[in-house]
Structure 1
Amino acid sequence: MDNKECIITVELGTNGVRVMAFNLRGESIGSMKGSYPTFHTQPDYSEQDPEQIFITMLYVLKNLLTEVIHPKHYNIVSICFSASMHSVLPIDQNGEPLGNAITWADNRGKREAIELNSSSLGKRIYNATGTPIHPMSPLIKIAWLSRNDRGRFVNTYKFLSIKSYIIQQLTGEYVLDYSLASATGLLNIHKASWEHDALAYAGIKADLLPELISVFASPGKLRKEYQKSLGLHESVKILIGSSDGCLATLGGGVWEEGKATITIEDSGAVRTVGKQVIQDEKQRFFNYLLWENYYVSGGPTNNGGIVFEWFTKQFGDFKGPFDIDHAMENLMREAATVSAGSEGLLFLPYLLGERAPIWNANARGNYFGINIKHEKQHFVRATIEGILYEVYSIGRMLQEHRRIDTLTVNGSFASIPLIAQMLADIFNKPVYTGSNPDSIARGAYLLSAIDLGIYKSLDEAARSIHLPITVKPQSSNHNVYQKYFPIFERLSTKLNEEFEAIANVQQEEYIKH
């Protein structure tokens, strides 16, 4: 193959789009990113403007092509897409969005989720779909629209994910890959078809959803206008790709027993790969289908790097109004001056409710154990430790079903050296990381490389990942964390009644005003 050929990956993330280019040897030759906002117009609401996402994606892609790819005369072979999970966007028969897209972080369907979760139907749906019954799920979001926004519901021609909308804009086709579909709560992951019980609960038929296709499938060629505006040949293959979580696992090389990956960007997750789903009576795990009999199992947290970003915006020192990276670096340095355990200061990081392991959409953030000796730097470190305790709680839960000997970390937050060391200390396991934390893009590259015949299988592709940087745990710090973590864990459930009470007060106050 021509050394001047390349693969483009497009990641449609929670707060931004990342576009990367790789040569066929898997070496990064360029990357760019752009951001877009999330709107919280009411309590529990989390929405994004799909047209703004599409325009941002086009802008970032065009800039990378114009500034890096075209000047170096690279021939683009394929463009592979990844996206965050659980989004829902109703569109009309003309393909126009009916309002904003509802994101994974939206909790408006919590009553529906509680009702379904406590029923035998909910258990059947979970066992069939592998997706926990929670407001994050498109199953619950669509059911909520049916019951609470009837006008929008009855005028919907298709319920899309954000990625399906972007693909439709580019190619004209309504499609969804099996992998992303397996995170909707609507797909039977054992039969790889839409699940009847889930469709019936949501009040829809399968024709209201996109056509299901393989992660290696192409939905079609770019529309002529985008071929022209982007300077791309019609032969460029559009590869639908997979979800960000599945690709982060593949791109992290986590493909064997005893390995798990921790991803922390805005949100976070702990994941393993296996050929069997995890059967859990408490319905705490997701089991997402990557390809045929490969399942990515684990648990997600709502509250990852976005929580530290929130803290930084409130309490960081800024050189300029938008210089958040500088402010975060300064806070990390302050955190490093405090010993493990933050001298007894604990933080519950539930600013966006929580998914695994407590699955409580009403959960709220809380600092606990404050005394007169605590200073700003203690709050900084406690905030980070709270985020990582939550990740650890998912990992502990996962180890009830999977052996975990080593961890691979990825994502911009998890790959910070201080964070990687703290994860190693809390888990008491070696942590592997690499020079490039973007394993989602790496996973998308690997899918394209398999499609091109560079690798023969997912196994071979995953084993091509080498992560030379190893962080070893410090036993003294682990011992401290083992004393504080049980308190964190108990607080996360002991406050359930208070979480619900304050959520109800907020809702009442919103309605009143």
Structure 2
Amino acid sequence: MGVIVGLDVGTTAAKAVAVDTASGWRTSANAEYRLDAPRPRWQVQDPSAVLAAVDTVLAEVARAVGDRGGGAGSSRSAGGASRARPTGATGELEVLGVGTAMHGLIGMDAELRPVTELITWADTRAHAEAAELRAQGRATELLERSGTPVHPMSPLTKLMWFGRHDRSTLHAARHWIGLKDLVLLHLTGRVVTELSTASASGLVDLAARDWSPGSLDLAGVSREQLPDILPTTALLELSSAAADRTGLPSGLPVNSGATDGPLGNLGTGAIAPGVAGMSIGTSGAVRTVVPEPRTDSRGRLFCYALTDDAWVLGGAVSNGGLVMRWAAETFLPQADGTARDAEALALAAQAPPGSDGLVMLPYLLGERAPLWDPDLSGSYLGVRHAHGREHFMRAALEGVCLQMADLVDVLDGVTPVTEVRCTGGVFRSGLWRGVMAAALGRPLVPTDDAEGSALGSVALALLATGRADDLTGALAQVAPAGGADEAVEVPEADRATYARVRGRTLDLLRGYGELAEHLADLADARG
């Protein structure tokens, strides 16, 4: 048995974790990159910056594995980098599992050079195309067929946008691929995708596990422009070029892997019936594993693949940790970097639960589940003279937590949720954990690791290589030693407070509706 490397390429950072399943030894690396907004509604990234971060984190864990082997399990590449040999002995590299964020889209020319930026899930330029499909009554049909809600996040609507607004680029692109496909191309030289990424595109027929002709017609692309769909347990090989960049061994098996949401469930142990996985990074999501594709009757939830017989039902919010970061930048403009994040949490903690009646609707980027409205705007409600920066800061955090609690309730209406397991850097904070647990009103169990999706890549790679018979067995091999397995304890008074806040939010919204009617009457009288 050797070391398994899990890669998680997210919205603002790439993470890699290496795990020796025999000894429990682990190491990890992280590299950040920017999310750019060159125009209103656009949220894009430079593909080269993302791929440079991938190389950086893989090189770092490769060095750590080589150093741990004391030279016995390493060699030198032509460039002089330490390279661990995949001989199968304990401490040496065995396989690389790959996970990425979903819904990305990038056009490539015939020479596999980008002709677009990486258009991320947060990009809502295709809002009119999504709205048109909904107005035509096609949203339910498309969701049931593809598992992906009709929303400008999806590659389906993004491709429709190119067909209407940038046909020259649409025609210049020989290939249309996602973030996962870009990373696999970078690592293996192959233009392929896998079922998890494809199932989040809006372009797949889940029953057939293949591209949907009807969706391709809507998107204006041909089957030949899209990559072949592999199982999430498929094995490829690391190219010699990637080996030279990272110090990993050429020919190292590369598991095609899945997307970050389903892998987050796996990595945090949220794969049993009744257990939901919650992750909060830049965005956020709640998901539970079901044995076959399914959706809810009101079209509020997605359904994406983890493996062919394990599907993740849930919803994603666009406004997760970015809301607190926005609040920190707005209300603490003089602070900087990680110090600002800590100062923001300290300031929020000064306000009482419920923020003395101040409520934030955290829709800074519109919203996905359960509302699926990219045009929603965020706001603070119930502002009073006594409210200070600490109240605005805490209300931002509470707004995210209450939105996530609403999503858990929607999921519980489709399949029972008895426990929520959470992952993400925000949950290192006791304030985040406490507010979320109180808002949920049901057990919240933090994992001891903020790298749930990367660990999920490790576990899925174990299944892909035959080192485990099923997902449960794979998870057992990578479960963090000493992991937290107790629910967060919160005062009953806090639970009651947040239950009241939910009701107060509805009352405030009704009040503002009455105000809008009153102002409309005044306008009519003046006219």
TM-score by length of 1: 0.91
Q: CA-to-partner distance for each residue in 1:162-216, whole Å, 9 max, x for gaps? A: 2211211222211101011100011112221111221111111211111110111
| 115, 128, 140: which one aligns with 1:123 | 140
Structure 1 distance, partners of 2:96, 2:510, is 44
Structure 1 distance, partners of 2:228, 2:510, is 41
Letter in 2 for 1:69: V
1:166 aligns with 2:162: no
Question: CA offset at residue 342 of structure 1?
Answer: 0.5
Question: CA offset at residue 346 of structure 1?
Answer: 0.4
Q: Give runs of ≥4 in structure 1 deviating > 4 Å.
A: 462-466, 489-496
Question: CA offset at residue 82 of structure 1?
Answer: 0.5
Question: CA offset at residue 317 of structure 1?
Answer: 6.8
| 15, 20, 38: which one aligns with 1:18 | 15
Match of residue 448 from structure 2: 435
Q: CA-to-partner distance for each residue in 1:94-152, whole Å, 9 max, x for gaps? A: 10101201100011111110111232433222111111000001110011111111000
1:343 aligns with 2:356: yes
Letter in 2 for 1:258: G
Match of residue 502 from structure 1: none
SS in 2 for 1:99: coil
Match of residue 232 from structure 1: 248
1:71 aligns with 2:84: no
Letter in 2 for 1:338: A
SS in 2 for 1:299: strand
1:52 aligns with 2:38: no
Question: CA offset at residue 273 of structure 1?
Answer: 0.9
Structure 2 distance, partners of 1:187, 1:377, is 46
Match of residue 32 from structure 1: 29
Q: CA-to-partner distance for each residue in 1:456-502, whole Å, 9 max, x for gaps? A: 10133346646424213432111111112134357679989x99xxx
Structure 1 distance, partners of 2:374, 2:446, is 32
Structure 1 distance, partners of 2:36, 2:23, is 36
Match of residue 311 from structure 1: 327
Structure 1 distance, partners of 2:276, 2:249, is 40
Structure 1 distance, partners of 2:304, 2:451, is 20
Structure 2 distance, partners of 1:24, 1:149, is 49
Structure 2 distance, partners of 1:210, 1:327, is 43
Q: CA-to-partner distance for each residue in 1:263-315, whole Å, 9 max, x for gaps? A: 11110011111124443232111011111222101110000011111222222
RMSD of aligned alpha carbons = 2.2
**Matches for 1:95-494 after TM superposition, within 5 Å:** 95-219=112-236, 221-316=237-332, 321=336, 324-462=337-475, 465=479, 467-488=484-505
Identity of aligned residues (%): 27
Letter in 2 for 1:72: R
Question: CA offset at residue 226 of structure 1?
Answer: 2.6
SS in 1 for 2:257: strand
Letter in 2 for 1:335: A
Structure 2 distance, partners of 1:310, 1:50, is 25
Q: CA-to-partner distance for each residue in 1:17-42, whole Å, 9 max, x for gaps? A: 11111112483521111111111111
Distance 1:423 1:264, change over 3 A: same
Letter in 1 for 2:328: T
Distance 1:495 1:80, change over 3 A: farther
Q: Does the Cα contact within 8 Å between 1:305 and 1:413 map onto a contact in 2?
A: yes
Q: Does the Cα contact within 8 Å between 1:346 and 1:386 map onto a contact in 2?
A: yes
Structure 1 distance, partners of 2:436, 2:256, is 33
Structure 2 portions without partners, runs of 5+: 70-90, 517-527
Q: Does the Cα contact within 8 Å between 2:276 and 2:421 map onto a contact in 1?
A: yes
Distance 1:122 1:145, change over 3 A: same
Structure 2 distance, partners of 1:386, 1:404, is 21
Structure 2 distance, partners of 1:164, 1:495, is 46
Aligned residues: 490
Question: CA offset at residue 435 of structure 1?
Answer: 1.9
Moved more, 80-89 or 256-265: 256-265
Letter in 2 for 1:161: G
Structure 1 distance, partners of 2:118, 2:510, is 31
Structure 2 distance, partners of 1:491, 1:280, is 29
Structure 2 distance, partners of 1:54, 1:185, is 25
Q: Does the Cα contact within 8 Å between 1:429 and 1:472 map onto a contact in 2?
A: no
Letter in 2 for 1:11: D
Larger radius of gyration: 2
SS in 2 for 1:413: helix
Q: Does the Cα contact within 8 Å between 1:189 and 1:289 map onto a contact in 2?
A: no
Q: CA-to-partner distance for each residue in 1:328-387, whole Å, 9 max, x for gaps? A: 222212222322110100011111111011111111121111101111111111010011
SS in 1 for 2:347: helix
Q: Does the Cα contact within 8 Å between 1:358 and 1:492 map onto a contact in 2?
A: no
Letter in 2 for 1:172: G
Match of residue 508 from structure 1: none
